[in-house]
Structure 1
Amino acid sequence: MREFDSECAQQHVPYALFGQTDMLARNHKEFRNSTYEFHVMMPANKVHSVLDALLKQGGDQREVESLATNPLLRWNTYRYVHAGTTLVNRDDFLHFKCRGVALEIHPVYSKGPSKIRAALSLGNHAAHLKPSVSFKFKNEKQETAYGYYRKTVQYLGEQRVANYLEGFCKKSGSLKAGRGCLETLDGAIKTVEKLDLTNTKKVSFEGLDLPVLVSYESYLKAYFGSKWKEESKKKQRPANTSAVISSATRPYKESIEAFKGIGVDFDDLDARYVKYEDLLRDVLPVSKKNTDHDYHIATLCGHRIDTYAELRGKEDELHRLIAAGNFTQAKAIMHSYLEYTDKYLKMGLGFFVSQELHDIAAAIWEHDGDKEKGAKVLSCVPPALKTRNLDETVGAFLAERSEK
């Protein structure tokens, strides 16, 4: 953090702490076990120059990772770390903790929602940096969990957006009405992007004098407008996961075609949602009396996509093992994968796993001819999975294995 602060001063780049780091600094609290990350926001057009300078100073001792799109880690967010010191703890499937000293940088744009596509361009910068942080994993569980963080917008984006839009449209009664949601998103993005990062004060924290925005009101007023006091006190809860997900009953391909038919550009739509999630989860702090960040994402249906992303992260690990010819480990993970499906079915996520389950199982057991064992494992698939229309592929696959 000291290196970052010095480089920003040298380049005359404004920045401010935010999120939990901001709160800790204001309240003069210490990091818990010295494992927390510093989180800062800074102008997007200055991120590259600062990171490049830091890398040159740190040499092989420093690395930068461009974090992939998912609900917890934001697209175009960068983590600057001491190489090899950060570990991922994914024991709690709804939250994460990073162990080790790290600095997470969040770009703030100033050109408004009409330039929201610019958010995608920062992802290209990762190609000029070292590919990823050199994580040291304590065990296989941590390594598998890390796959969750490596998803890309191409892998998760369309399915996630399809369900967001489907849920909104079902509520409003028509697909076309769902497009009105974009105006709301753009409005929220535009107001928060007006934050003045130069309007800060210094706070002594961890031996450093670091900037924080002059007041929480700067955040809250930017988001809630003139009624920020009333709105920020409302205790909202995320929409019920199962209820919203179950409303998205249209087959995925049909949804895609329907959305395209009303002029929905998925790249643009996903960029908007990703940016909106950025603002809701990170840039916007909560009031001092309410430390629950989840109320900010009430309109985004809670943790539905968190669990889906984790499921796909498990799948991605399986594909990697299959490609490497490690079928023994792939089979072991397949067992835990089936345990995951039961948890997701209870949350209304069953229709996400049917085709993936079929493809993975086929790849694993068809490759080495162990069909009998494959049939036994697949017979553990929860019955509810077989009853859904979108799971006919799995049902046929299971029936075929049972006959043999």
Structure 2
Amino acid sequence: MIVSGVAAEVVLQYMDTYSRLRFSACNPGFRQLEKSYPLHIKILSLQNKGFKIDGTIYRLGIYRVYKARTQIPYMEIDYNREGSVQYDTNCKIFDRYGINEPKKIYTGSLETDLRKLEKANKTLEKLRKVVKGNAALIKKKGELTKKIRIINEKVAISKSKFEEFILLKISGKKHNEQLMVKYTKPIQEAFKDLMDRIFGGRGHQIHVEHLEVLGGFENPLKTVKMQVEHLDVEYFAKMRDVEDFFSTESLPLETATCYLYGYKDHKILGNAKLLILEVAVVDSLSAFDIRKFSNHRLLFKCKDCYRSAYVVALVFRKMTQAAKRRYTFEVSTENGEWNDMVREFADEETNKNFFENFAFPVTFTIKTKAGADLKFSADQKDDSIIVIDLELIP
């Protein structure tokens, strides 16, 4: 069936992302057409050897099929019966997405295990020579017997012969499929090919509403560009693997989210209209340096950390420059931290009126040493979180 350009654009506009990419993978003619129109993704999560697009998980791993041996065939047969052994190079991708947790395979040192086995056998032999035993001795014999059995299984499986395949799993709420090829190239190259097949060769930048970059992701492509609204960078993610997705024409991010202690000044984060910082424990002024943040609008999520918001707020109050800045804090209702912040920032009369006539929301303005007005607002977001807003107005 031949469709006009207008009809194709309408079809692609109303086709969900999974179906669009699925048809593109199966039909070379449709793939060329599909890649010539903009791709819009609501949520894209990038991880080591895998990614998640609008609820559909694409992940690469290794599929190991054992060749059963006649002398001790039970482990290999059991593995194969259960769908063989599926694993990633470091299993992180399976742990992160939490679907079809792989059977943990043995990758330890055979020499180390053989030494442990010899030592355990000698100890057990000595214990067996004891004629009269007590409960503790019986328990120790049982523990050693179990340990020897486990080591024997490890040694046996490490000597087993097997074939390895590269496995692509595509799974979502309504679909679950597997594609498998012989392991003929490193999995890093296979991941690059997968990324290129889906994201590469497009005539337009990919539009992503929310981009999440998880620890362990390494960008194998340097040519794919994205237009992103919201960016979430996990603690161990590296910005050098993120920045390649952004062109110089990309608009500033609406929001950028990262961890306070993992933050490193970067133009992509610094140009965000709102920088959201997940805060661990900040217990002293020296632990926080406001100068590394160029953003005028920051949100500190401190709901699990007592006094962290209070310490950061003190730095804010001591600023000597009357630059327009706005900080928002999300703090727990349980630890009374918001109380401390009200007492610190309000003058004596405001404090008295506030605590005598307590009610949310509350707003007051005070003068600062920087010659600016400080607007303080507090309101209850829900039963567990109070939002405190500090705005410095020159």
Q: Which has the larger radius of gyration?
A: 2
Q: TM-score, normalised by structure 1?
A: 0.24
Instruction: Give the structure with the larger helix fraction.
Output: 1
Instruction: Give the structure with the larger strand fraction.
Output: 2
Q: TM-score, normalised by structure 2?
A: 0.25
RCO higher in structure (CA 8 A, sep ≥6)? 1
